[in-house]
Copies of this chain bind each other. A is one copy, B any other.
Amino acid sequence: MKPTAILLLHCPDRQGIISEITKFITDNHGNIVYLDQYVDRVDGVFFMRIEWELDGFLIPRDKIKDIIDTLYGVRFGVESNLYFNDEKPRMALFVSKMSHCLYDLLARYKAGELDVEIPCIVSNHEDLRYVAEQFGIPYYVWSIKKDHSNKAEVEAAEMELLRKENVTFIVLARYMQIISEDMIRSYPNKIINIHHSFLPAFIGAKPYHQAYERGVKIIGATSHYVTTELDAGPIIEQDVVRITHKDTPDSLVLKGRDLEKIVLSRAVSKHVERKILTFKNKTIIFS
């Protein structure tokens, strides 16, 4: 795999943006290997993901972002993020007691499906240490007291770890604690959660029991970026499975697990491939 630059941008829609930017890359000897764009005509916003090979590209890596912002920031109102495919995202996993999402992500990682590094797994319980050990990944436990009296302290320790390990994004793989606003603000659109319902139905605790009580015929799972409002962040991926009156809360939990792990892993993959743009509490997912 050759080294590439990946540019994600959005700006007010106007004629000629695509030509400008593709011309800029081509003129500087960049070989474009991916281009996908989308115009939100309701809001009048242009979104693009463009990727080009760096071999022979005339602008050095560390100047690309600055030049693009300078050339197109004021003129077009472009806001952009730049990534390089050879700089792997560093993912921290937060878990609690359930292993299905953790196993699923680690099995993909081990099989080479997820192009990330996993410097640490964080939990408030010892329960899943054996999984971390199976895969040789450091496992850190900070117990949060029931009265949450040590929560600030715990999060400070976690933040310290994340910084030390240069973590670029966090995956809450059925982590049952609420993340504080501080931590959320430190990782904007960089904390991925899996909620075990078809949001916005059944926000909050015990969604499968809520679904059972309501008598729905389909249940779902939702992966979203964490914002300061509970279960209300930009949705990345959802999926559903059909159920019947024969299902009990327990069988819903079991069926839901398969949804959760598949939906979470799809969301993580899209994030790792830098194919997600967020805008106005929604996601644009490039193909």
Contact = CB atoms under 8 A, between A and B. Distances in A.
Interface of A: 15-16, 18-19, 22-23, 26, 31-35, 37-42, 98-100, 103-104, 107-108, 110-111, 113, 134-135, 198-202, 214-218, 220, 234-240, 242, 244-246, 248-249, 254, 257-258, 262, 265, 281-285, 287
Contact of A200 (B34, B202, B235, B258): B202
Contact of A284 (B16, B237, B245): B245
A246 B113 contact: no
A176 B73 CA distance: 48
B18 A22 contact: yes
Given A18-B18, A134-B135, 12 more contacts: A15-B31, A15-B32, A38-B245, A103-B104, A107-B107, A200-B216, A215-B281, A215-B282, A216-B235, A217-B237, A218-B220, A244-B287
25 contacts: A15-B32, A18-B22, A19-B23, A35-B37, A38-B246, A40-B245, A42-B249, A99-B107, A103-B103, A113-B254, A113-B257, A134-B134, A134-B135, A200-B201, A215-B234, A215-B282, A215-B283, A216-B238, A217-B235, A218-B220, A240-B240, A244-B285, A245-B283, A246-B287, A262-B262
A249 to B, nearest CB: 8
- Residue among A19, A108, A249 with max Cβ neighbours from chain B (10 Å): A19
A26 B35 contact: no
B198 A218 contact: yes
Contacts of A104: 103-104, 107
Q: 4 closest A-B pairs (Cβ-Cβ)?
A: A215-B282, A103-B107, A201-B201, A19-B19
A202 B287 CA distance: 26
Contacts of A240: 218, 240
- Residue among A100, A201, A234 with max Cβ neighbours from chain B (10 Å): A201
Contacts of A239: 218
